[in-house]
């Protein structure tokens, strides 16, 4: 694998590039397969034909395979849990799971309306536990998927 920021050759398992200190797949300047120069909008490397690894986009994204990388410093699982305690799903948005958080928020309100509030409590507790566990994964340096639960 090549670093997408500085084109240094790295081990497949390298979390951080030893030359530039960035996550090897966080930029879009070089192909991760052959090290050829690529542009930000390019999807396929024109030198080796491989699909270039997409850097995680910021903002709202409904791509379910989007990977959320741990931020540095990591976001606090306790804060995420607390936010989801007040508003279910928003703790997930805080952690970077924007699409999941917003859909869960909408689902929580829809379900509690249909069940006269009874349906709110299981989701409320689940969203708090979920925010905590997803937050802990990110805190440990693991990446999570946009729609990963618990
Ligand atoms: Zn690098
Ligand atoms: Zn290439």
> Model confidence over 5-59: pLDDT tens digits?
999 999 998 989 999 999 999 899 999 999 999 998 899 999 999 999 876 554 4
Ligand 1 centre to CA of 61 (Å) is 26
Tokens of 98: 């924007």
Domain range summary for the chain, segments of one domain joined by +: 1-55, 77-145
37 CA to middle of ligand 2, Å? 8
The pLDDT score that the predictor gives to residue 59 is: 46
User: Are 75 and 94 spatial neighbours (Cβ–Cβ below 8 Å)?
Assistant: yes
Burial class, 88, CB count within 10 angstroms (exposed 0-12 / middle 13-18 / buried 19+):
buried
What average pLDDT score do residues 73-84 get? 95
- Alpha-carbon torsion angle 142, 18, 6, 37, nearest 10: -70
Is the model's pLDDT at 68 over the cut of 60?
yes
Q: Which residue has the tokens 């618990």?
A: 150
Mean of the per-residue pLDDT values for the chain? Answer: 90
pLDDT band with cut points at 50, 70 and 90 for residue 71: confident
Ligand showing the shortest atom-to-Cα distance for residue 32: 2
Among the bound ligands, name the one nearest to the CA of residue 31: 2
Instruction: Say how far apart CA 116 and CA 26 lie, in whole Å.
Output: 45
49 CA distance to ligand 1 centroid (A)?
A: 22
Higher pLDDT, 86 or 63: 86
Residue 38: per-residue pLDDT: 94
Distance, in Å, from the CA atom of 139 to the CA atom of 2, rounded to the nearest integer, reads 26
Nearest ligand to the C-alpha atom of residue 38 = 2
What distance in angstroms lies between residue 47's CA and the mean position of ligand 2's atoms? 5
Ligand at minimal distance from the CA of 4 is 1
In this structure, which ligand is nearest to the CA of 7? 1
DSSP 8-state class, residue 120: H
Residues shown for the chain: 150
Contact 30, 10 (CB under 8 A): no
């Amino acid at each position: 694998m090549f670093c997408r920021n500085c084109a240094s050759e790295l081990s497949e398992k390298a979390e951080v590039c030893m030359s530039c200190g960035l996550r090897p797949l966080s930029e879009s300047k070089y192909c991760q397969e052959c090290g050829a120069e690529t542009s930000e909008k390019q999807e396929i490397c024109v030198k080796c034909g491989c699909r270039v690894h997409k850097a995680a986009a910021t903002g709202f994204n409904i791509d379910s395979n989007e990977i959320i990388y741990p931020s540095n410093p990591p976001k606090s699982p306790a804060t995420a849990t607390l936010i989801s305690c007040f508003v279910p799903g928003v703790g997930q948005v805080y952690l970077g799971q924007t699409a999941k958080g917003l859909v869960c928020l909408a689902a929580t309100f829809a379900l509690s309306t249909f069940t006269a509030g009874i349906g709110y409590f299981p989701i409320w507790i689940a969203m708090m536990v979920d925010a905590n566990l997803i937050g802990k994964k990110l805190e440990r340096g693991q990446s999570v998927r946009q729609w990963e639960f618990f």
